[in-house]
C-alpha cells in the first residue's frame, strides 16, 4: 500500500512535478441536508472561474451525487470507474460552465468507505498524474457526520460549513464541528449563512453558532458572510445553471462573487506534494486512521 510521505522522498514526492502555487483545497459541507450546500459549491466554483481561477469541482456526496444534475450535465463515467481502473481521471472529468473541471461521483456506491490497498494506490496515482494546472479544488461533501464526510473535510486545507435559519441546521453544524475538532483535530472553520433575508440575520446565525463553539470547543470560527434568499437563484436552479452565470447582477450572484474573493485571500498551504495528490494523500491517511480506530 502507498503510504503518505511527509518528506517528499517517496511516491508522492516523485510525482509532484508541477511548479507554481499549491492547489487550494476547500471542503464545502453542512450538518444537515437542505441548506443549499451543493448550490453554494457550484456557484463558488463558477465565481472563482469567472475571476480567472482554474477550478476543479469534486462531487464528494457519494450517496446522492447531484452536481451534474444541478449543472445540467450527463456524465457517462464517474469516480468509481477510476478506482476500478477502467478510466483515467482525465477520461471521467467533464467541462462545466466557464471552464470548470468537474469530477462526477457515483451515487449509491460505498467505494470510498471500502477501498482496498490497490484501489488506494490507484486513486492516488490518478490524481498525481492529472497534469492540468488547477488553482482551486472545491469538494462538495455529503451532509452529516459520516466517516466519508469527516475524511474529505480532514483532507482539505479549509472547511466551509453552510448553515441556514433552521434550529436543526445550527445544531447539526455544531455536531459536525465537534466531531471534526475533538476527534480529528480540525481547528478552523469558515461559516456561511445561506438563504437569509438580511445581512444581519446571517450574522445573527453565525453568532448563535459561535456562542456554543466558543464555550465547548477549542477552535477558531470565522464568519465568511451571507448569501441572501433570492428568487433569481431559484430560477437558475430550474434552468440547471449557476446563478452567477445565469443572472450575474442578482443579489445572490454578487454575494457569491464576494465570497470567492474572500476565499482567494486565504493563505495557501505548502503541504506535502502541494498539488492534487496532497488532497488524496490526506484523504487516504484519514480513511486508514478511521479503520484503525474501529478495530
**Are 114 and 36 within 8 A, CB to CB?**
no
The partner residues of 25 in beta bridges, in order of sequence, read 137
The partner residues of 191 in beta bridges, in order of sequence, read 161, 223
Q: Alpha-carbon distance 198 to 194, whole Å?
A: 10
Q: Alpha-carbon distance 241 to 146, whole Å?
A: 29
**Cell 445581512 belongs to residue:** 199
Give the model confidence (pLDDT) of 80-103 as tens digits.
888 778 888 889 999 999 999 999
Mean pLDDT, rounded, for 163-177: 96
Q: Alpha-carbon distance 37 to 97, whole Å?
A: 18
* Mean of all residue pLDDT scores within the chain: 84
Altogether, the residues listed in the chain come to a count of 295
**Cell 441536508 belongs to residue:** 33
Q: Alpha-carbon distance 203 to 181, whole Å?
A: 22
Q: What is the pLDDT of residue 13?
A: 32
Using DSSP's 3-state secondary structure scheme, residue 191 falls into: strand
* CB-count burial class (<10 Å; 0-12, 13-18, 19+) for 273: buried
- Quickly state the pLDDT bin for 279 (edges 50, 70, 90): confident
**pTM here?**
0.86
**Nearest CA to 269 among 159, 128, 167?**
159
- Quickly state the pLDDT bin for 3 (edges 50, 70, 90): very low
The partner residues of 102 in beta bridges, in order of sequence, read 57, 94
**Nearest CA to 10 among 275, 279, 276, 281?**
281
- Maximum C-alpha span of the chain: 53
Q: Alpha-carbon distance 255 to 244, whole Å?
A: 9
Mean pLDDT, rounded, for 266-294: 70
Q: What is the pLDDT of residue 267?
A: 85
Tell me the CATH architecture of domain 19-293: 3-Layer(aba) Sandwich (3.40)
Neighbouring C-beta atoms of residue 222, cutoff 10 Å? 15
- Quickly state the pLDDT bin for 1 (edges 50, 70, 90): very low
The most confident of 78-92, 128-142, 254-268, by mean pLDDT? 254-268
**Are 15 and 130 within 8 A, CB to CB?**
no
**Nearest CA to 135 among 247, 284, 256, 275?**
275
- Beta strands 136-143 and 101-103 are unpaired
Mean pLDDT, rounded, for 166-195: 96
Would the pLDDT of 110 be above 70? no
Would the pLDDT of 128 be above 80? no
Give the model confidence (pLDDT) of 9-40 as tens digits.
333 233 334 445 678 999 999 999 999 999 99
Q: Alpha-carbon distance 236 to 24, whole Å?
A: 27
More reliable by pLDDT, 292 or 195: 195
Alpha carbon 10 to chain centroid, angstroms: 27
CA dihedral sign of residues 277, 261, 46, 195? positive
Amino acid at each position: 500500500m502507498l503510504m503518505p510521505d511527509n518528506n517528499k522522498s517517496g511516491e508522492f514526492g516523485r510525482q509532484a512535478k508541477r511548479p507554481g502555487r499549491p492547489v487550494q483545497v476547500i471542503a464545502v459541507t453542512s450538518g444537515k441536508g437542505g441548506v443549499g450546500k451543493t448550490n453554494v459549491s457550484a456557484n463558488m466554483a463558477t465565481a472563482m472561474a469567472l475571476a480567472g481561477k482554474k477550478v476543479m469541482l469534486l462531487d464528494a456526496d457519494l450517496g446522492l451525487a447531484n452536481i451534474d444534475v444541478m449543472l445540467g450535465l450527463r456524465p457517462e463515467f464517474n469516480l468509481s470507474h477510476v478506482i476500478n481502473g477502467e478510466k483515467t481521471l482525465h477520461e471521467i472529468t467533464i467541462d462545466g460552465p466557464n471552464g470548470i473541471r468537474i469530477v462526477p461521483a457515483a451515487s449509491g456506491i460505498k467505494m470510498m468507505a471500502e477501498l482496498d490497498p490497490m484501489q488506494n494506490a490507484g486513486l492516488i496515482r490518478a490524481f498525481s498524474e492529472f497534469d492540468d494546472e488547477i488553482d482551486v479544488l472545491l469538494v462538495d461533501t455529503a451532509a452529516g457526520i459520516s466517516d466519508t464526510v469527516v475524511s474529505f473535510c480532514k483532507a482539505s486545507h479549509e472547511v466551509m460549513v453552510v448553515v441556514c435559519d433552521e434550529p436543526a441546521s445550527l445544531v447539526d453544524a455544531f455536531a459536525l464541528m465537534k466531531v471534526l475538532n475533538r476527534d480529528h483535530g480540525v481547528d478552523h472553520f469558515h461559516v456561511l449563512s445561506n438563504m437569509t433575508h438580511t445581512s444581519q440575520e446571517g450574522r445573527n446565525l453565525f453568532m448563535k453558532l459561535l456562542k456554543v463553539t466558543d464555550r465547548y470547543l477549542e477552535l477558531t470560527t470565522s464568519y465568511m458572510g451571507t448569501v441572501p434568499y433570492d428568487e433569481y437563484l431559484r430560477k437558475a436552479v430550474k434552468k440547471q445553471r449557476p446563478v452567477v452565470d445565469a443572472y450575474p447582477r442578482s443579489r445572490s450572484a454578487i454575494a457569491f462573487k464576494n465570497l470567492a474573493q474572500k476565499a482567494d485571500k486565504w493563505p495557501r498551504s505548502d503541504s506535502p506534494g502541494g498539488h492534487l495528490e496532497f488532497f488524496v494523500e490526506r484523504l487516504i491517511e484519514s480513511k486508514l486512521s478511521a479503520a484503525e480506530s474501529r478495530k
